[in-house]
Structure 1
């Protein structure tokens, strides 16, 4: 195993020892995961939970139900998630795609394989790489590593990446140096989020207390 692979495994072990299993993504169904992946853009998870609770209260957390819901009504229901008009349109775009191309069945989409399913999701207006990969990994159990702002910040601060690296370059860093393992990718991403929230903050990071103190390339 190369040096990068060793460091990535070391990071994983240190974070797992510190935080334990994360049980991510918190959702009752794969479709709920997908809805959450869209709603969590530019907001915190507590706000997403409130928006999802509103949808559940109206019994709307199903593809066909959201497909029939006017976008204005949907926007009001997901208001706690912020940017609610934009997110309502993105959610409608996704649901229309899912219903019209796959009869609302996520399993049919995911059964097409990682490459095709990813291309299809990225063709939906409002779904970028992070959102698509979150759906593929957490809802579809497909082996793709999710890159987010926490991951980028941690990698850059520990010398494993630089600020101008693309999403694909950062993703490749994990995909080429770790086993292709859905459970590993799932847990690793969630642990990086935990580290980013608790220690590797944008401002005033808690470097002295961080479980990754001293880790570098």
Structure 2
């Protein structure tokens, strides 16, 4: 893992990315008219500098659903699946569970664009059951689940759990994805075989931002990586962050 001599570079890299791409306004919502500031990928639903989202329980569960649907696919496909589902069912755990159980083929057809349709249908049922039980056990709609409990749900791994906690529940959890690994491996801060938790802990220990900036950092990493780390050899044209390579 990184030499502590360079740990402040995480903050400097964030500053450079923010200066380059500005505020991203993640998580995008299908019922919001905001525009993606960088005009790449999906272009609607973004809310730069407005950190009040999600603003209601349906938007919160939209993030939770989206965090599962986005596994092994791209955001435009997820956006399409969410729009398809939104025409059929409300975004709340009970509605999703009942519709998936009673209308299996229409449900699967709605999310077919994201791939792994049988698997993701099961995962969406699992997470719906989890939040139904959580609300019943605690009698609190806004109660925040523990990371440990989320990870116990079949279909929820480290990245999905952190996505749910960071963007749905506004918890200071750093989400590590393949883009994070590509960028920071190229720059020399981590090794390709470093574990998810070691990378997560490194960022959470050394990046000084609040939860809003944790959200921005992930979004900025994605935006930057789409431009310079989508194809091998990763990062060779990355002049923006080249000064931070060690």
Matching residue of 1:128: 157
How many aligned positions are there? 210
> Residues of 2 paired with 1:179 and 1:144: CA distance?
13
> Residues of 2 paired with 1:149 and 1:106: CA distance?
32
Partner of residue 67 from structure 2, selected from 37, 40, 47: 37
Report the TM-score, using the length of structure 1 for normalisation.
0.90
Gaps of 5+ in 2: 32-58
Give 1:209 shift: 4.7
Q: In the alignment, is residue 107 of structure 1 matched against residue 153 of structure 2?
A: no
Q: In the alignment, is residue 214 of structure 1 matched against residue 216 of structure 2?
A: no
Bigger share in helix: 1
Give RMSD over aligned pairs: 1.8
Instruction: Provide Cα deviations, 1:196-215, integer angstroms capped at 9, x if missing partner.
Output: 11112242446335411231
Greater CA drift, 202-211 or 2-11: 202-211
* Higher RCO structure (Cα 8 Å, ≥6 apart): 1
Contact 2:67 2:163 in 1 (8 A): yes
The runs of 4+ residues in structure 1 deviating greater than 6 Å are: none
Gaps of 5+ in 1: none
Contact 2:100 2:121 in 1 (8 A): no
> Residues of 1 paired with 2:89 and 2:174: CA distance?
32
Q: In the alignment, is residue 23 of structure 1 matched against residue 25 of structure 2?
A: yes
Matching residue of 1:177: 206
Report the TM-score, using the length of structure 2 for normalisation.
0.80
Greater CA drift, 27-36 or 48-57: 27-36
